[in-house]
Chains A and B, each alone.
Chain A
Amino acid sequence: MKRARLYLPLGIFLTIIAFGYAGFELNDPHQLPSALLGKPFPEFSAPLLAEPARVVDRQVLLGTPVLVNVWATWCPTCKAEHEELMRIRRQTDLRIVGINYKDQRAKALRWLADYGNPYDFVLQDLDGGLGVELGVYGAPESFLLDAQGRIVYKRVGDINPRIWRDELLPHLETLEVGSVSADLR
């Protein structure tokens, strides 16, 4: 009993270490949990980057699963993830919709012309107002929506092959299975 008690400080110390490890190493404070996860994509109206005169709303995102990608030409990580978006575009039939976030139209159009355009279409968010509706606090951020426009997954940071394999693909598979069983019924 007496001897066991000698280990008490060591135990307390190890407990603190464990909490510190979990808190500072496993949990990246820059990755906020999305408050919108599981909720419907908010209502919005935004002009298209290609034709600013045309304003579209939430309806354009419905029907099939869609990856909504928030990007800007001022964002280096967006350049880093662009290649992966192009690959997804080429090799899968997942729809990708861009939100050009707090950017200049001319620069954005040049970017798409120079590097390729992985998007079905791009929405324009000049003042970041749509970003605020989405809880966006940086770029890039991506949202995976199911066919009903519900947010099933959110990624803060770049889309890369690892994220595609470990996060997006599993979610897409559950979505696909869900829609198939819905069809069977």
Chain B
Amino acid sequence: MIARLLLNCAVAVALSSLGTSARAAAQVDIYQFPDSQTEARYRGLIDEFRCPKCLNTNLAGSDAPIARDLRRTVHRLVVEEGFSDDQVRDFLQERYGDFVLYSPPFKPGTWILWLAPLGFVVLGAVVLARTVRRKDTLQLDASEQRRIAAIVGTQSTEAVNAVTNVGVNAADSGAGSAEVAAQLEQDR
């Protein structure tokens, strides 16, 4: 009994994998196309639109009656009436609104949708810049400065100044000054 069930499952899986894809198996409409290019356009279009009834399934993947009607409509528009892809988009948008388009148009009602990510990037950059700038710089007294100069091996005050600003410079001026900074911390 169980063996037969398993066999049936195996046959079903084998049959369904013969189909072009899982989503093609989801619908059972049978349509005629004059050529494979038109069929590809039809498949692309029904993949692109959202079924108005089911919130988050496309026309291709939905079994809702309205999705079937709209697939039939798309087929009619593409095959019989020779609509271009854009004309089909306009046709559906005029009747069902922006909802059927997964990618909403840029207009006053949706600008926040499109611009918010950009806004967050800018906000993040500002916060990052401020955080980095606020990194504490070490305040060294005269004896510490002398010791740094000794470690670095030069009396040049330029070099001293270069490593004094440890907070920022340790990271980007390489391992050398990082070591200096670490040693300084230990010695203090």
A residues apposed to B, CB below 8 Å: 29-30, 32-36, 102, 127-129, 131-138
Which residue of chain B has its CB nearest to the CB of A138?
A: B53
Which residue of chain B has its CB nearest to the CB of A42?
A: B95
Which residues from B are CB-within-8-Å of A135? 52, 95-97
B residues apposed to A, CB below 8 Å: 52-53, 55, 65-66, 69-70, 73, 93-99
Name A133's contact: one of B52, B55, B95, B97 (CB within 8 Å). Answer: B95
Q: Is the interface of B mostly helix, strand, loop or mixed?
A: helix
Closest 5 CB pairs of A and B: A35-B97, A137-B52, A135-B95, A128-B69, A137-B66
A131 touches B69 (CB 8 A): yes
A35 touches B69 (CB 8 A): no
A32 touches B70 (CB 8 A): no
Which residues from A are CB-within-8-Å of B93? 35
Sample of 30 A–B contacts (CB below 8 Å): A29-B55, A32-B99, A33-B97, A33-B99, A34-B97, A35-B93, A35-B95, A35-B96, A35-B97, A35-B98, A36-B94, A36-B95, A127-B69, A128-B65, A128-B66, A129-B69, A129-B73, A131-B66, A132-B70, A132-B73, A132-B95, A134-B95, A135-B52, A135-B95, A135-B96, A135-B97, A137-B52, A137-B53, A137-B66, A138-B66
Q: B52 to nearest A CB, angstroms?
A: 4
Which residue of chain A has its CB nearest to the CB of B99?
A: A32
Q: A107 to nearest B CB, angstroms?
A: 16
Which residues from B are CB-within-8-Å of A102? 65
Which residues from A are CB-within-8-Å of B95? 35-36, 132-135
